[in-house]
Chain A
Amino acid sequence: DIQMTQSPSSVSASVGDRVTITCRASQGISSWLAWYQQKPGKAPKLLIYAASSLQSGVPSRFSGSGSGTDFTLTISSLQPEDFATYYCQQANSFPETFGQGTRLEIK
């Protein structure tokens, strides 16, 4: 299985801050990476697919980059509704696997 490792596991930030979350794959996955946002008690929401493609309806302050083994999710200016847990997921091979999550908290 491809292991997905996110860093940091948690981060504290303020409204208006720029935040970057990193995801590393244990082997190359080309650009087949997705990012999700999950709020407590809710299902995950797709933000980014194919490493950098913004899902319809997702605000443009979210962006993704990377290829191969190293990927980033950037939120350019944090809004109050962005405080949540974020997961990466690889779609390069089976089984599809997720990172352990990054919790974004209010400072």
Chain B
Amino acid sequence: QVQLQESGPGLVKPSETLSLTCTVSGGSISSYYWSWIRQPAGKGLEWIGRIYTSGSTNYNPSLKSRVTMSVDTSKNQFSLKLSSVTAADTAVYYCARGMIVAVGDAFDIWGQGTMVTVSS
């Protein structure tokens, strides 16, 4: 079955760029939307954005100026870059597969999540 695994640094300095990669195994990355979602400790879920395998993206306007997503179909991977991070970006970051139900998605497969702390 399809599995997702996030990878990347667990500690990022303020003002620097957070970079994460999600590897898709057990299935093809093609023909799906792939999202990033984050969750600060003890808080709710925030959708960051999504990318289609064509490279088409949709970003949360609250983060749009700082977010870049990319996809590498040859490696079955997609990536997130979040620039100019602050302590407010400290969270568990999840990658997830979108099951398109409308304009948006229901997220049917999730990675286990990776904790990213922003601190000097």
Q: Which residues of A contact B (CB under 8 A)?
A: 1, 30, 32, 34, 36, 42-46, 49-50, 55, 87, 89-101
Contact = CB atoms under 8 A, between A and B. Distances in A.
20 contacts: A32-B101, A34-B101, A34-B107, A43-B112, A44-B45, A44-B107, A46-B99, A49-B106, A49-B108, A55-B108, A87-B44, A89-B45, A89-B106, A90-B104, A91-B105, A95-B47, A97-B47, A98-B46, A99-B44, A100-B44
Contacts of B102: 30, 32, 50, 91-92
Contacts of A44: 45, 94, 107, 110
Contact of B47 (A43, A96, A101): A96
B110 A43 contact: yes
Contact of B61 (A34, A46, A95): A95
B3 to A, nearest CB: 11
B44 A101 contact: yes
Given A43-B112, A43-B113, A92 B104 contact: yes
Contacts, number: 73
B111 interface: yes
B65 interface: no
Contact-residue size bin, chain B (C-beta under 8 Å from the other chain): 20 to 34
**Interface residues of chain A: helix, strand, loop or mixed (majority):** loop
A49 B101 contact: yes
B62 interface: yes
B94 A43 contact: yes
A50 B100 CA distance: 10
Nearest to B107: A46
Nearest to A48: B106
